[in-house]
Amino acid sequence: MADTRAAREMAETGAARPAGSWRDPRLPVAERVADLLDRMTVEEKAAQLVGYWTVSARPGEEVAPLPDDFGEPPPLEEVMAAGLGQLTRVFGTAPVPPAEGAARLRELQARVAAGNRFGIPAIAHEECLTGFMAFSATVFPSPLAWGATFDPGLVEEMAAAIGGSMRRVGVHQGLAPVLDVTRDPRWGRTEETIGEDPYLVGLVGTAYVRGLERSGIVATLKHFAGYASSRAGRNHAPAALGPRELADVVLEPFVLALREGGARSVMQSYSDVDGIPAHADERLLTGLLRDELGFTGIVVSDYFGISFLDDWHGVAGSTGEAAALALRAGVDVELPTVRCYGAPLVEMVRSGAIPVEHLDRSVSRVLTLKYELGLLDGAAESAPPSESPDGSGGTAPYAESPDGEQPNDPLDFDPPGHRRLARRIAEQSVVLLANDGVLPLRADRIAVTGPLADEARAMLGCYSFPNHMTGRFPDMPLGVDIPTLAEALRAELPEAEIDLAAGHGVEVADDADIAAAVAAARRAEVCVLALGDRADLFGRGTSGEGCDAETLALPGRQAELADAVLATGTPTVVVMLSGRPYALGDIVDRAAAIVQAFFPGEEGGPAVAGVLSGRVEPSGRLPVSVPRGPGGQPTTYLHSRTGGPSRWSSIDPTPLFPFGHGLTWTRFSYEALEVDPSAPTDGTIRVTATVRNTGDRPGTEVVQLYLGDPVASVVRPVRWLAGWARVRLEPGAAARVAFTVHADRTGFTGADLRRVVEPGRIDVAVGASSADLPLNGSFTLTGPVRVLGTDRVLTVPVEVTPC
């Protein structure tokens, strides 16, 4: 028994580090892990499976959902005596200056390594969805903004920059990206999703994974799986999913990110699907994730998710039973802090209620990752960042700034190169929804009104540090420069007279705010009306985790404000700064223009102002549909024929602005569609079309390819996105866009729950959005029904050739 060997070694060596092949870097990792595992006690093994939150939240200051009976964790010295798996958010829990945070992490790691007899340090993890979630770090645009760019390469560049900052100060793992597909935009965490199409989510999310992983940071895919499909868009509610929707929509981005991105960690969902919580779902976490998809990394619990098997889901009667369920299912690490996987797990193993094989399985995975990160080969004793090229003393590569420059100060979390990159992404993500010609702005007197007109936090999502921490530190400064929309417009249009009537609060509770906005609009030639969300947590905002919406009506009295301003007759540009799409049907016919920006980050103000002035070419496209009315939801463009409008229902779910929509300063035409007539069910089809700039200004078109399966063995969507290309053209110029579509990309989960490609006709459509498709054709797949394996083709290569 390992305990017997461990006792003998402790008696023989005392305080000395045990010798053995586990310390020999020349040996294969698997051999080293096996030797180390054999020398560990049950307590030492369990210690590798827990995190520790050095500063935990107090009641009323929640930064994560908490168990009902949550108390303070035991002291770190007590926990780390047997070792420690992870350190939780040393930078991301309080406003710590970079140098102080780096010193604190080094000190904690030294204590952890010195506190256990093997000298094993912890994996340090942080949130990094919109940048390194630390005080004074660059706040990049939100994931919905990534989706709006339709530019995976740009997102990969951003992720590499984020990872570089984290790795330089000794962080090892990032809890991003979110690969949940938008299903109901009432859900508060819609702002964290990339969009409503699984292929868009998969390609953009995979690019983020590649960028983070190549910087040396372990990417964590979340939330596996079905979190965004919760009933009524309520956080943590059960997910209403059938097996085909789960396979064909929800899981597809994870499959792509695992195979093409190389993610080394997965975090599961809080929700239950058909009565099975993800944290206890062995079929999901072991049968699918590991046995079928071949994942070999670590599975980490969402914060307190194992405890919730007892507290919320009611499938366990104690923390020990919760530990047994989660460990058997395949949850390797309990985050954020020790609870179920501490003493309760040890007791269950010693009593025989948990097989030691389950414990060893997870510990082996954790130790393997620690070996990969260099944590068992001296990286624990890290030098200060200025003395180590990556800031950790480890072997991870040094990540350059986005412009290729090495940062002068490795502890500058918001260097100029990062801000320039944040600006590029923000500019490329802004979507021009409608424009009657008022844009670009040419007026001399401009009113800037609305609750978000002069609010810096309106640019940020809930997983940005400034907004995430407001509940705990209400007086905390932003930490980075975030120009408001009004400030950015003054800088963008220095010759114009800017009349600001911003109001107070996103809910527009004060009649005086409406009166002031109306008065300012009447004095102006053009009015800019800023509406949308204020992101926060658990009901403290209108968007964000736990900030779900009953309908997609504008928050508070914003619709009343808009109605009053539009009634003045002054041409009004509505700017939406939000974390979800809102119903704009009552506004669209009266507004002169509508601009959508999904929490565009610290450079979002200048990006939006640049679009309004005409300096920036609008090239963003909608990653989610914008509804006409607040009801009749949820729906996305991925619906079957019976899911669309019909004379058999009084509700018309047709969106006001469809998925993929976005205007530019110019016009484009489509012509010369060519489609190969047929291919076998294991062959490829080439689809080509010409796009031409028919306007008088340069512009970028996002050429989109959609497929449809008119007759299949199960109900299929009317169409689905199969590929796209961003094409920038000068006036009068044209380009030929060629898509190579493998038959696998027509596959789906059949009646017997196997993924198949069926012979028959496949419809093809090419155009500017899911509803603007001027080119239509078809091809035929021939031969037998083909069952797909895990090696199926996941992507559609695209080539763009100038004509």
DSSP string, 731-789: TT-EEEEEEEEEGGGG-EE-TTS-EEE--EEEEEEEESSSS---EEEEEEEESS-EE--
Residue 125 pLDDT exceeds 60: yes
Mean pLDDT of 313-342: 96
Average pLDDT over residues 209-225: 97
**What is the rounded distance in angstroms from the CA atom of residue 357 to the CA atom of residue 362?**
9
Could you give the 3-state DSSP secondary structure of residue 431?
strand
pLDDT digits (tens, 9 = 90+) for 357-374: 999 999 999 999 999 999
Q: Above 60 in pLDDT, residue 269?
A: yes
Task: Out of 271-280, 356-365, 383-392, 511-520, pick the least confident.
Answer: 383-392
Rounded to whole angstroms, the Cα distance separating 704 from 623 reads 12
Q: Is the pLDDT of residue 6 over 70?
A: no
User: Is pLDDT above 80 for 389?
Assistant: no
**DSSP letters along 181-227, please?**
PPS-TTSGGGGGS--S-HHHHHHHHHHHHHHHHHTTPEEEEEEETTG
Per-residue CA distances from 478 to 164, 481, 607, 663 (Å): 22, 7, 19, 33
Q: What is the pLDDT of residue 261?
A: 97
- Measured CA to CA, the distance from residue 112 to residue 277 in angstroms comes to 33
In degrees rounded to 5, what are phi and psi of residue 764?
A: -125, 135
Whether residue 71 is predicted with pLDDT greater than 70 in this model: the reply is no
Query: What is the per-residue pLDDT across 565-621, written as a single tens digit (0 to 9) for each?
Result: 999 999 999 999 999 999 999 999 999 999 999 999 999 999 999 999 999 999 999
Crossing angle for the helix pair 343-351 and 319-329, nearest 10 degrees?
80
Rounded Cα distance between 582 and 102, Å, is 41
Question: Which SS3 state, helix, strand or coil, does residue 799 take?
Answer: strand
Model confidence at 255: pLDDT above 80:
yes
Indicate whether 73 pLDDT > 80: no
Cβ-based neighbour number of residue 490 at 10 Å: 18
Rg from Cα positions in the chain: 27
For residue 301, which of 255, 366, 229, 355 has the smallest C-alpha distance? 366
Q: What is the pLDDT of residue 15?
A: 52
Please, which pLDDT band fits residue 716 given cuts at 50, 70 and 90? very high
Give the span between the Cα atoms of 703 and 147, in whole angstroms. 15
- pLDDT higher than threshold 90 for residue 406: no
Contact residues for 571 (Cβ-Cβ < 8 A; gap 6+)? 436, 438, 525, 526, 527, 592
Burial 785-796 (b: 16+ CB within 10 A, else e): ebebeeebbbbb
Residue pLDDT, tens place only, 8-66: 665 555 556 788 899 999 999 999 999 999 999 999 999 999 999 976 544 444 445 65
**What are the pLDDT digits (tens) for 442-452?**
999 999 999 99
Give which of 669, 675, 667, 720 is closest to 698, Cα–Cα.
Answer: 667
Q: How far apart are CA 394 and CA 105, in angstroms?
A: 14
How many other β-carbons are positioned within 10 Å of the β-carbon of residue 671? 11
Distance, in Å, from the CA atom of 791 to the CA atom of 714, rounded to the nearest integer, reads 23
Give which of 415, 433, 463, 475 is closest to 191, Cα–Cα.
463
pLDDT in tens, 136-150: 999 999 999 999 999
Among 164-173, 373-382, 419-428, 751-760, the range scoring the smallest mean pLDDT is 373-382
Report CA 557 to chain centroid distance, whole Å.
30
CA 765 to chain centre: 29
Helices 604-613, 416-429: inter-axial angle, 10-degree rounding: 50
Q: Which ranges of 501-557 would DSSP assign to H, the alpha helix?
A: 511-523
φ/ψ region of 514 (left if φ > 0, alpha if ψ in -120 to 50, else beta) reads: alpha
β-sheet with 445-449: strand ranges across = 431-435, 593-598, 572-578, 526-532, 445-449, 497-501
Q: Which amino acid is residue 172, in one-letter code? A: H
- Mean pLDDT across the chain: 92
What's the pLDDT tens digit per position in 433-490?
999 999 999 999 999 999 999 999 999 999 999 999 988 899 999 999 999 999 999 9
- Dist. CA 125–CA 375, nearest whole Å: 14
Q: Are 106 and 382 in contact (CB under 8 A)?
A: yes
Q: What's the pLDDT at 400?
A: 44
pLDDT at res. 5: 64
- In the predicted structure, residue 429 carries a pLDDT above the cut 90: yes
355 has pLDDT over 70 = yes
Write down the pLDDT at residue 383. 37
The pLDDT of residue 430 is above 90:
yes
| Nearest in space to 191 (alpha carbons), one of 527, 595, 709, 549 | 549
**431, 509 contact by CB (below 8 A):** no
Confidence at residue 396, expressed as pLDDT on a 0 to 100 scale: 35
